[in-house]
Protein backbone atom coordinates (compact mmCIF):
# COMPACT_ATOMS: atom_id res chain seq x y z
CA UNK A 1 0.00 0.00 0.00
CA UNK A 2 1.48 3.40 -0.95
CA UNK A 3 1.81 6.22 1.53
CA UNK A 4 -0.86 8.02 -0.42
CA UNK A 5 -3.29 5.11 -0.14
CA UNK A 6 -2.58 4.90 3.57
CA UNK A 7 -3.44 8.56 3.97
CA UNK A 8 -6.66 8.05 2.04
CA UNK A 9 -7.50 4.98 4.09
CA UNK A 10 -6.98 7.00 7.30
CA UNK A 11 -9.41 9.65 6.04
CA UNK A 12 -12.43 7.65 7.11
CA UNK A 13 -15.74 9.02 8.38
CA UNK A 14 -14.49 9.76 11.88
CA UNK A 15 -11.35 11.59 10.81
CA UNK A 16 -13.47 13.75 8.49
CA UNK A 17 -15.47 14.77 11.53
CA UNK A 18 -12.16 15.68 13.17
CA UNK A 19 -10.77 17.75 10.30
CA UNK A 20 -12.20 21.13 11.12
CA UNK A 21 -11.11 24.65 11.95
CA UNK A 22 -12.36 24.13 15.50
CA UNK A 23 -9.82 24.57 18.30
CA UNK A 24 -11.16 21.46 20.03
CA UNK A 25 -13.05 18.55 18.52
CA UNK A 26 -14.48 15.74 20.63
CA UNK A 27 -15.90 13.08 18.35
CA UNK A 28 -18.09 10.29 19.80
CA UNK A 29 -15.61 9.79 22.62
CA UNK A 30 -16.21 7.13 25.27
CA UNK A 31 -14.17 6.18 28.33
CA UNK A 32 -14.81 3.54 30.99
CA UNK A 33 -13.05 2.66 34.23
CA UNK A 34 -13.71 -1.06 34.53
CA UNK A 35 -17.43 -1.46 33.96
CA UNK A 36 -18.12 2.19 34.84
CA UNK A 37 -18.72 4.15 31.62
CA UNK A 38 -17.92 7.75 32.61
CA UNK A 39 -17.84 9.37 29.16
CA UNK A 40 -20.44 8.04 26.76
CA UNK A 41 -20.32 8.91 23.04
CA UNK A 42 -19.54 12.55 23.80
CA UNK A 43 -19.24 14.98 20.87
CA UNK A 44 -18.75 18.74 20.81
CA UNK A 45 -16.56 21.40 19.18
CA UNK A 46 -14.96 24.53 20.59
CA UNK A 47 -14.28 27.37 18.16
CA UNK A 48 -11.01 29.35 18.28
CA UNK A 49 -11.12 32.32 20.64
CA UNK A 50 -14.19 31.28 22.56
CA UNK A 51 -14.72 30.55 26.23
CA UNK A 52 -16.44 27.18 26.50
CA UNK A 53 -17.77 25.98 29.85
CA UNK A 54 -18.33 22.34 30.71
CA UNK A 55 -20.89 21.91 33.48
CA UNK A 56 -22.09 18.75 35.16
CA UNK A 57 -22.77 17.24 38.57
CA UNK A 58 -19.96 15.52 40.53
CA UNK A 59 -18.76 12.48 38.63
CA UNK A 60 -20.36 13.54 35.33
CA UNK A 61 -17.10 13.00 33.44
CA UNK A 62 -15.83 16.57 33.07
CA UNK A 63 -12.31 16.02 34.42
CA UNK A 64 -11.95 12.78 32.46
CA UNK A 65 -12.90 14.68 29.28
CA UNK A 66 -10.53 17.56 30.00
CA UNK A 67 -7.66 15.22 30.91
CA UNK A 68 -8.21 13.36 27.65
CA UNK A 69 -7.95 16.64 25.76
CA UNK A 70 -4.76 17.44 27.67
CA UNK A 71 -3.27 14.11 26.58
CA UNK A 72 -3.22 12.50 30.04
CA UNK A 73 -5.80 9.83 29.18
CA UNK A 74 -6.63 7.93 26.02
CA UNK A 75 -10.26 7.57 24.92
CA UNK A 76 -11.47 3.95 24.63
CA UNK A 77 -13.41 4.77 21.46
CA UNK A 78 -13.94 7.90 19.42
CA UNK A 79 -11.30 10.55 19.13
CA UNK A 80 -10.29 14.07 20.06
CA UNK A 81 -8.25 16.83 18.43
CA UNK A 82 -6.83 19.93 20.06
CA UNK A 83 -5.54 22.66 17.73
CA UNK A 84 -5.80 20.02 15.01
CA UNK A 85 -3.49 17.63 16.85
CA UNK A 86 -3.91 14.29 18.58
CA UNK A 87 -3.09 15.13 22.23
CA UNK A 88 -1.23 11.86 22.85
CA UNK A 89 0.44 11.02 19.51
CA UNK A 90 1.28 14.67 18.83
CA UNK A 91 1.64 15.80 22.44
CA UNK A 92 5.19 17.08 21.83
CA UNK A 93 3.82 19.59 19.28
CA UNK A 94 0.72 20.42 21.30
CA UNK A 95 2.15 20.95 24.82
CA UNK A 96 4.07 24.17 23.99
CA UNK A 97 0.85 25.69 22.63
CA UNK A 98 -1.50 24.99 25.53
CA UNK A 99 -1.77 25.95 29.19
CA UNK A 100 -3.26 23.71 31.85
CA UNK A 101 -4.64 24.85 35.18
CA UNK A 102 -4.93 21.68 37.22
CA UNK A 103 -7.37 21.00 40.06
CA UNK A 104 -4.65 19.78 42.40
CA UNK A 105 -1.82 22.12 43.37
CA UNK A 106 0.78 19.87 44.98
CA UNK A 107 3.68 20.97 42.79
CA UNK A 108 7.16 21.46 44.18
CA UNK A 109 6.33 22.19 47.85
CA UNK A 110 9.90 23.30 48.66
CA UNK A 111 10.24 25.87 45.85
CA UNK A 112 8.96 29.43 46.15
CA UNK A 113 6.14 30.69 43.96
CA UNK A 114 8.61 32.66 41.83
CA UNK A 115 10.99 29.69 41.49
CA UNK A 116 8.23 27.39 40.24
CA UNK A 117 7.10 29.98 37.73
CA UNK A 118 10.69 30.53 36.57
CA UNK A 119 11.14 26.79 36.21
CA UNK A 120 8.02 26.50 34.04
CA UNK A 121 8.89 29.64 32.05
CA UNK A 122 12.11 27.87 31.04
CA UNK A 123 10.12 25.18 29.21
CA UNK A 124 8.61 27.63 26.72
CA UNK A 125 10.00 29.51 23.74
CA UNK A 126 8.26 32.81 24.49
CA UNK A 127 7.24 32.85 28.14
CA UNK A 128 5.54 35.77 29.81
CA UNK A 129 7.45 37.82 32.36
CA UNK A 130 7.36 35.99 35.69
CA UNK A 131 7.14 39.17 37.75
CA UNK A 132 4.34 40.65 35.63
CA UNK A 133 2.44 37.42 35.99
CA UNK A 134 2.98 37.28 39.77
CA UNK A 135 1.60 40.79 39.99
CA UNK A 136 -1.35 40.02 37.68
CA UNK A 137 -2.50 37.12 39.87
CA UNK A 138 -1.83 39.04 43.10
CA UNK A 139 1.13 36.98 44.30
CA UNK A 140 3.90 39.59 44.34
CA UNK A 141 4.04 39.71 48.13
CA UNK A 142 4.01 35.89 48.27
CA UNK A 143 6.63 35.46 45.52
CA UNK A 144 9.27 34.27 48.00
CA UNK A 145 6.91 32.00 49.95
CA UNK A 146 7.49 28.28 49.57
CA UNK A 147 4.60 26.55 47.81
CA UNK A 148 3.75 24.39 50.81
CA UNK A 149 3.18 27.54 52.86
CA UNK A 150 0.85 29.22 50.35
CA UNK A 151 -2.83 29.41 51.32
CA UNK A 152 -5.38 27.42 49.33
CA UNK A 153 -6.43 30.50 47.35
CA UNK A 154 -2.78 31.48 46.69
CA UNK A 155 -2.06 27.97 45.39
CA UNK A 156 -4.98 28.32 42.96
CA UNK A 157 -3.59 31.68 41.78
CA UNK A 158 -0.15 30.12 41.28
CA UNK A 159 -1.79 27.31 39.29
CA UNK A 160 -3.41 29.99 37.12
CA UNK A 161 -0.06 31.74 36.59
CA UNK A 162 1.54 28.40 35.66
CA UNK A 163 -1.16 27.81 33.05
CA UNK A 164 -0.43 31.20 31.49
CA UNK A 165 3.36 31.49 31.71
CA UNK A 166 3.94 29.81 28.33
CA UNK A 167 1.76 32.40 26.54
CA UNK A 168 -0.62 29.66 25.33
CA UNK A 169 -3.10 29.71 22.43
CA UNK A 170 -5.50 27.54 24.36
CA UNK A 171 -6.00 27.12 28.11
CA UNK A 172 -7.71 24.33 30.02
CA UNK A 173 -9.03 25.31 33.42
CA UNK A 174 -10.51 22.71 35.73
CA UNK A 175 -12.66 24.58 38.28
CA UNK A 176 -10.42 27.68 38.07
CA UNK A 177 -11.95 29.66 40.93
CA UNK A 178 -12.73 26.81 43.34
CA UNK A 179 -11.35 27.81 46.77
CA UNK A 180 -10.74 31.44 45.78
CA UNK A 181 -12.10 34.37 47.78
CA UNK A 182 -14.42 36.83 45.97
CA UNK A 183 -11.55 39.25 45.16
CA UNK A 184 -9.35 36.53 43.62
CA UNK A 185 -12.38 35.22 41.73
CA UNK A 186 -12.99 38.67 40.21
CA UNK A 187 -9.31 38.92 39.18
CA UNK A 188 -9.46 35.46 37.62
CA UNK A 189 -12.61 36.33 35.69
CA UNK A 190 -10.92 39.53 34.43
CA UNK A 191 -7.86 37.51 33.35
CA UNK A 192 -10.12 35.09 31.47
CA UNK A 193 -11.83 38.03 29.71
CA UNK A 194 -8.41 39.51 28.83
CA UNK A 195 -7.28 36.17 27.37
CA UNK A 196 -10.46 36.03 25.31
CA UNK A 197 -9.83 39.56 24.01
CA UNK A 198 -6.38 38.35 22.90
CA UNK A 199 -8.02 35.50 20.98
CA UNK A 200 -7.01 32.72 23.37
CA UNK A 201 -9.40 29.74 23.45
CA UNK A 202 -10.49 28.63 26.92
CA UNK A 203 -12.16 25.43 28.01
CA UNK A 204 -13.19 25.52 31.65
CA UNK A 205 -15.14 23.29 33.98
CA UNK A 206 -17.06 24.82 36.83
CA UNK A 207 -19.75 24.18 39.41
CA UNK A 208 -20.51 27.89 39.58
CA UNK A 209 -23.44 28.70 37.35
CA UNK A 210 -22.82 32.45 37.52
CA UNK A 211 -19.21 31.87 36.43
CA UNK A 212 -20.40 30.00 33.33
CA UNK A 213 -23.13 32.54 32.65
CA UNK A 214 -20.76 35.53 32.93
CA UNK A 215 -17.79 34.14 31.03
CA UNK A 216 -18.80 31.50 28.55
CA UNK A 217 -19.74 31.92 24.90
CA UNK A 218 -21.07 28.37 24.94
CA UNK A 219 -22.07 26.11 27.80
CA UNK A 220 -22.22 22.34 27.55
CA UNK A 221 -24.01 20.43 30.30
CA UNK A 222 -22.97 16.80 30.65
CA UNK A 223 -24.42 14.14 32.91
CA UNK A 224 -23.46 10.47 33.13
CA UNK A 225 -20.86 11.25 30.47
CA UNK A 226 -23.45 12.35 27.91
CA UNK A 227 -24.10 15.78 26.44
CA UNK A 228 -27.55 16.92 27.53
CA UNK A 229 -27.47 20.61 26.52
CA UNK A 230 -25.18 22.84 24.47
CA UNK A 231 -25.89 26.46 23.61
CA UNK A 232 -25.09 30.06 24.50
CA UNK A 233 -25.98 31.02 28.09
CA UNK A 234 -28.62 33.42 26.72
CA UNK A 235 -30.31 30.69 24.70
CA UNK A 236 -30.11 28.20 27.56
CA UNK A 237 -31.69 30.58 30.04
CA UNK A 238 -34.03 32.36 27.62
CA UNK A 239 -32.54 35.73 28.60
CA UNK A 240 -34.06 37.33 25.52
CA UNK A 241 -37.51 36.88 27.03
CA UNK A 242 -38.28 37.84 30.60
CA UNK A 243 -40.87 35.16 31.17
CA UNK A 244 -40.75 34.28 34.83
CA UNK A 245 -42.36 35.94 37.85
CA UNK A 246 -40.93 34.94 41.21
CA UNK A 247 -42.53 35.95 44.46
CA UNK A 248 -42.31 35.20 48.15
CA UNK A 249 -45.54 34.79 50.14
CA UNK A 250 -46.92 32.49 52.83
CA UNK A 251 -46.26 28.85 52.03
CA UNK A 252 -48.90 26.49 50.71
CA UNK A 253 -50.65 28.73 48.16
CA UNK A 254 -52.75 26.82 45.65
CA UNK A 255 -50.46 26.45 42.62
CA UNK A 256 -53.21 24.88 40.55
CA UNK A 257 -55.20 28.10 40.90
CA UNK A 258 -52.11 30.18 40.13
CA UNK A 259 -51.42 28.09 37.02
CA UNK A 260 -55.05 28.65 35.97
CA UNK A 261 -54.64 32.44 35.84
CA UNK A 262 -55.34 33.39 32.19
CA UNK A 263 -51.78 34.55 31.44
CA UNK A 264 -49.94 31.84 33.42
CA UNK A 265 -48.35 28.88 31.71
CA UNK A 266 -47.04 27.03 34.73
CA UNK A 267 -46.83 27.70 38.49
CA UNK A 268 -44.87 25.98 41.23
CA UNK A 269 -43.73 26.48 44.81
CA UNK A 270 -40.01 25.90 44.31
CA UNK A 271 -39.17 26.17 48.02
CA UNK A 272 -41.46 26.76 51.00
CA UNK A 273 -43.09 30.14 50.37
CA UNK A 274 -41.10 30.81 47.19
CA UNK A 275 -43.13 30.70 43.99
CA UNK A 276 -42.40 30.81 40.30
CA UNK A 277 -44.90 31.44 37.49
CA UNK A 278 -44.01 31.19 33.80
CA UNK A 279 -45.83 33.42 31.35
CA UNK A 280 -45.58 34.80 27.85
CA UNK A 281 -47.54 37.92 28.89
CA UNK A 282 -45.86 39.29 32.02
CA UNK A 283 -47.77 42.64 32.36
CA UNK A 284 -51.16 40.85 32.20
CA UNK A 285 -49.95 38.17 34.59
CA UNK A 286 -48.85 40.79 37.13
CA UNK A 287 -52.37 42.32 37.10
CA UNK A 288 -53.99 38.90 37.45
CA UNK A 289 -51.60 37.79 40.18
CA UNK A 290 -51.88 40.91 42.32
CA UNK A 291 -55.69 40.81 41.95
CA UNK A 292 -55.71 37.14 42.98
CA UNK A 293 -53.54 37.94 46.02
CA UNK A 294 -55.63 41.00 47.02
CA UNK A 295 -58.89 39.04 46.82
CA UNK A 296 -57.39 36.56 49.29
CA UNK A 297 -55.74 39.20 51.44
CA UNK A 298 -52.32 37.62 50.88
CA UNK A 299 -49.23 39.80 51.41
CA UNK A 300 -46.15 39.58 49.22
CA UNK A 301 -42.68 40.03 50.66
CA UNK A 302 -40.85 39.97 47.32
CA UNK A 303 -41.82 40.15 43.64
CA UNK A 304 -39.39 39.86 40.72
CA UNK A 305 -39.68 39.55 36.97
CA UNK A 306 -36.86 37.90 35.04
CA UNK A 307 -35.69 34.96 33.05
CA UNK A 308 -34.80 31.45 34.08
CA UNK A 309 -31.32 31.01 35.54
CA UNK A 310 -28.70 28.54 34.37
CA UNK A 311 -29.03 26.92 37.79
CA UNK A 312 -32.80 26.37 37.24
CA UNK A 313 -32.05 24.69 33.93
CA UNK A 314 -29.13 22.69 35.33
CA UNK A 315 -31.24 21.30 38.18
CA UNK A 316 -34.13 20.58 35.85
CA UNK A 317 -31.86 18.63 33.49
CA UNK A 318 -29.70 16.83 36.02
CA UNK A 319 -32.12 16.42 38.93
CA UNK A 320 -31.64 17.59 42.48
CA UNK A 321 -30.30 14.45 44.17
CA UNK A 322 -26.71 14.70 45.45
CA UNK A 323 -24.15 12.66 43.48
CA UNK A 324 -21.29 10.57 44.86
| List 1, 33, 92, 182, residue binding ligand ATP (CB under 6 A) | 33
What part of residues 12-31 is at the interface with ligand ATP (CB under 6 A)? none
Nearer to ligand ATP, 62 or 218 (CB): 62
Nearer to ligand ATP, 74 or 260 (CB): 74
| List 37, 38, 128, 317, residue binding ligand ATP (CB under 6 A) | 38
Cβ atoms of 27 and 2 within 8 Å: the answer is no
State the Cα–Cα distance between residues 204 and 103, nearest whole angstrom.
11
State the Cα–Cα distance between residues 56 and 59, nearest whole angstrom.
8
Binding mask 280-299 for ligand ATP (x = CB under 6 A): --------------------
Nearer to ligand ATP, 166 or 176 (CB): 176
Nearer to ligand ATP, 62 or 157 (CB): 62
Nearest to 180 by CA among 152, 213, 216: 152
Quick check: helix, strand or coil at residue 110?
coil
Beta-bridged to residue 86, according to DSSP, are none
Nearer to ligand ATP, 226 or 284 (CB): 226
Residue 123 vs residues 96, 261, 302: alpha-carbon distances, Å: 8, 65, 56
Nearer to ligand ATP, 60 or 192 (CB): 60
Beta-bridged to residue 24, according to DSSP, are 46, 82
Q: How far is the CB of 199 from ligand ATP (least distance, A)?
A: 27
Cβ atoms of 305 and 244 within 8 Å: the answer is yes
Residues near ligand ATP (CB under 6 A), total: 10
Beta-bridged to residue 202, according to DSSP, are 51, 171
Q: How far is the CB of 224 from ligand ATP (least distance, A)?
A: 9
Q: How far is the CB of 125 from ligand ATP (least distance, A)?
A: 32
What part of residues 43-82 is at the interface with ligand ATP (CB under 6 A)? 56, 58-64
Q: How far is the CB of 82 from ligand ATP (least distance, A)?
A: 17
The DSSP letter of residue 22 is -
Using CB atoms within 10 Å of the CB of residue 220, give its burial: 0 to 12 exposed, 13 to 18 middle, 19+ buried: buried
Q: How far is the CB of 309 from ligand ATP (least distance, A)?
A: 20
Nearer to ligand ATP, 2 or 58 (CB): 58
Q: How far is the CB of 269 from ligand ATP (least distance, A)?
A: 29
Alpha helices for 150-181 (secondary structure H):
152-164
Q: How far is the CB of 59 from ligand ATP (least distance, A)?
A: 4
Residue 168 vs residues 100, 108, 126, 281: alpha-carbon distances, Å: 9, 22, 9, 48
Nearest to 206 by CA among 182, 172, 167: 172
User: Which positions touch ligand ATP (CB under 6 A)?
Assistant: 33, 38, 56, 58-64
Amino acid sequence: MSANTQTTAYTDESSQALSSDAAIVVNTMSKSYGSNCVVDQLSFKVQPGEVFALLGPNGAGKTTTVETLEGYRAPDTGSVRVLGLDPIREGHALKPRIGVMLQQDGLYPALTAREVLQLFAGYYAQPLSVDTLLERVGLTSAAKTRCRRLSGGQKRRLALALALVGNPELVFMDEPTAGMDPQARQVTWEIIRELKRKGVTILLTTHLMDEAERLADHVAIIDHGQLIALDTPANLTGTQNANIVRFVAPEGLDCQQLAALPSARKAEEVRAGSYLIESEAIPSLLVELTTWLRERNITLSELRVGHGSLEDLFLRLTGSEVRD
